[in-house]
Amino acid sequence: MINYSYPLYRPPAEANNIILQVTHGCSYNHCSFCSMYKSKKFEIKALEEVYQEIDTLAQSYPQAKKVFLADGDALCLETSHLLEILKYLKKSFTKLSRVSVYATAQNLLEKSDSELALLKDNLLNLIYFGIETGNEVLLKKITKGVNAQQIIRSLQKATKAGMKTSTTVILGIGGVAYTKEHIKDTAVLINQTEVTYLSTLQLGLDEDAKRGFFKHFDDFNMLTDTQVLDEQRRFLELLEPKNKVIFRSNHASNALHLAGTFPKDKQRLINEVRQALEIGEAALVPEMFRGF
Ligand code: SF4
């Protein structure tokens, strides 16, 4: 019996993998647009409890190859604590090939290069990371707690350690007033990193998040779907990553779903957005089927 604490979130790509909760909540929990863990007090789960759950999971799924460590930023754990968990996982799941985790820039910057390399050697080899925006004004408005240079540096550290990075950008997060700066600066940021995966989400604010969000962003006006698609087009046009990047825009929040690989599919992706802009609403996922 696994004693999950809810709400429990995991990346869509981890739907068929083992979810092991090693913390509860998010150690930062201040991003103004995010209400995921507002109802949870941050806690580190005792190692004994984690080991017991690994034993239970290994009995049910002995062939499992991939494990996701929840909750919101489990990379905040001390490296020695994470290594204990990783070693126990390797011993319990003999076919284990990948352990992944949500991480913040703060988590990555707090670890030394050698600590990250050690974690990678023990199969912590995929980091899910919310970039959101590369614009300094917006990073302050959404109270992300880091600046663009820190985001770049943290992603470069993960890459240097040999970890793959799956990153997200939020279309519409600058509203009408900052749409140009948001897209330009975010593309500039990505172009200085070597992320493995890049996804664009579309901003949605639930009732719990709205008050905190508008407190720091009183000049915010939500973009229409057409304006969001125009952001998507401009973003794709400005992206010039140094490496091959797998691009997706297929989150539940997206009005238009896209998938391709940079640089090979860049022009096709741009054409698909242009075409959707010409067709209008009929080309988009109906709003009732979307969620952030
Ligand atoms: S966006 Fe991530 S880092 Fe920010 S509060 Fe939410 S879970 Fe924590």
pLDDT digit string, tens, across residues 2-18: 989 999 999 999 999 99
Assign 116 a pLDDT band (cuts: 50, 70, 90): very high
Give the pLDDT confidence score for residue 249 in this predicted structure: 94
Give the pLDDT confidence score for residue 130 in this predicted structure: 98
Q: Which CATH number fits domain 12-281: 3.40.1180.10, 3.20.20.70, 1.20.1630.10, 3.30.450.70?
A: 3.20.20.70
Given a cut of 90, is residue 82 above it in pLDDT? Answer: yes
Both tokens of 115, joined, read 């600590």
Q: Residue 225: CB within 6 Å of ligand 1?
A: no
Give the pLDDT confidence score for residue 151 in this predicted structure: 98
Give the pLDDT confidence score for residue 237 in this predicted structure: 98
Given a cut of 90, is residue 289 above it in pLDDT? Answer: no
Given a cut of 80, is residue 286 above it in pLDDT? Answer: yes
> Coil, strand or helix: which one is 201?
strand
How far from 70 is each of 11, 40, 119, 154, 197, CA to CA, in Å? 10, 13, 16, 20, 20
**Is there a contact between 100 and 128 (Cβ–Cβ < 8 Å)?**
yes
Q: How many beta carbons lie within 10 A of that of residue 148, not counting itself?
A: 21
Assign 96 a pLDDT band (cuts: 50, 70, 90): very high
Q: Residue 192: CB within 6 Å of ligand 1?
A: no
118: Cα within 13 Å, side-chain hemisphere: 13
Give the pLDDT confidence score for residue 252 in this predicted structure: 87
Give the pLDDT confidence score for residue 240 in this predicted structure: 97
* Nearest-CA residue for atom 5 of ligand 1: 29
Dist CA 100 CA 245 (whole Å) = 18
Dist CA 109 CA 73 (whole Å) = 13
Ligand 1 mean position to 59 CA, how many Å? 32
Residue with tokens 């290994």: 58
Ligand 1 mean position to 99 CA, how many Å? 20
Q: Residue 29: CB within 6 Å of ligand 1?
A: yes
Assign 292 a pLDDT band (cuts: 50, 70, 90): confident
Give the pLDDT confidence score for residue 162 in this predicted structure: 98
Assign 89 a pLDDT band (cuts: 50, 70, 90): very high
Give the pLDDT confidence score for residue 208 in this predicted structure: 85
pTM of the entire structure? 0.96
Cα angle vertex 40, ends 38, 44, to 5°? Answer: 130
Write down the domain spans for the chain: 12-281
Give the pLDDT confidence score for residue 85 in this predicted structure: 98
Give the pLDDT confidence score for residue 15 in this predicted structure: 95
Instruction: Identify which of 35, 71, 104 to mutate to test ligand 1's pocket (most ligand atoms within 8 A of the CB).
Output: 104
Distance of CA 182 to the CA centre of its chain: 17
Q: What are phi and psi of 152, to 5 degrees?
A: -60, -50
Question: For residue 36, which atom of ligand 1 is closest to its CA?
Answer: 6
The tens digit of pLDDT for each residue in 70-79 reads: 999 999 999 9
Mean pLDDT, to the nearest integer, of 217-224?
A: 95
Assign 291 a pLDDT band (cuts: 50, 70, 90): confident
Instruction: Identify which of 21, 23, 37 to mutate to test ligand 1's pocket (most ligand atoms within 8 A of the CB).
Output: 37
Comparing 189-193, 201-205, 236-240, 285-289, the range with the smallest average pLDDT is: 285-289
Ligand 1 mean position to 28 CA, how many Å? 7
Mean pLDDT, to the nearest integer, of 152-159?
A: 98
Q: How many beta carbons lie within 10 A of that of residue 152, not counting itself?
A: 19
Mean pLDDT, to the nearest integer, of 99-113?
A: 98
Give the pLDDT confidence score for residue 288 in this predicted structure: 84
